[in-house]
A = this chain, B = another copy of it.
Amino acid sequence: MMVSTKGRYAMTVMVDIAKNSNGKYVSLADIARRENLSNKYLESIISILIKGGMLKSLRGKNGGYKLTREPKDYNISEILRLTEGTLASVNCIMQEGVTCDKAATCSTLPLWTGLDMVIESYLGSITLKDIIDGNRKKMLGDYCNKCSAL
């Protein structure tokens, strides 16, 4: 499992706010109720999104959360990388270019590197707007050859 609930719920939150904001601040309680998720757990996830600059907040009555940019200006890779810590598929690749000490002679390293590139390429190409619009062609199209539901 690459993406934990933390990253998955982060996406849910971003989409929920994007859909329900209309320029206003959206309260935690509303998000949690709509998405049927734990109030408290969401709070901790939103906190990460705020510290990472994905959301801004307003305290007090009528407060809540709001996107800092247009939906088209978020890509999924950055949202997940922020909440998950890393998207590396194996833990011998810590950050971009940082590998373990056997890297020079490791036969399988190019495999893991290639896998990471494929994942980054995909997630980096999808925007929050694509998800809100339900752009199935972009999300499923390129690789879906036996998917009749398209």
Which of A's residues lie within 8 Å of B, judged by CB? 1-3, 5, 8, 11-12, 15, 19, 76, 86, 88-92, 107-108, 110-115, 117-119, 121-123, 126, 131-132, 134, 136, 139-140, 143-144
A28 to chain B, nearest CB (A): 19
Q: In the complex, A19 Cα to B122 Cα: how many Å? A: 33
| Nearest-CB residue, chain B, relative to A7 | B90
Q: Give the distance in Å from the alpha carbon of A144 to the alpha carbon of B117 in the complex.
A: 7
Q: How far is the CB of A27 from chain B (nearest CB, A)?
A: 20
Query: A144 to B121, alpha carbons, bound, how many Å?
Result: 9
Chain A at the B interface: mostly helix, strand, loop or mixed?
helix
- Give the number of times this chain occurs in the complex, counting copies: 2
Q: Known contacts being A1-B88, A89-B3, is A117 close to B131, with CB within 8 Å?
A: no
**Which one of B11, B88, B113 lies within 8 Å of A108 (CB-CB)?**
B11
A122: which of B5, B8, B118, B139 is its contact (CB, 8 Å)?
B118
Partner of A113, one of B3, B119, B139: B139
Q: Contacts of A126 on B, CB cut-off 8 Å?
A: 111, 114
| Contact of A11 (CB < 8 Å), options: B111, B119, B122, B140 | B111
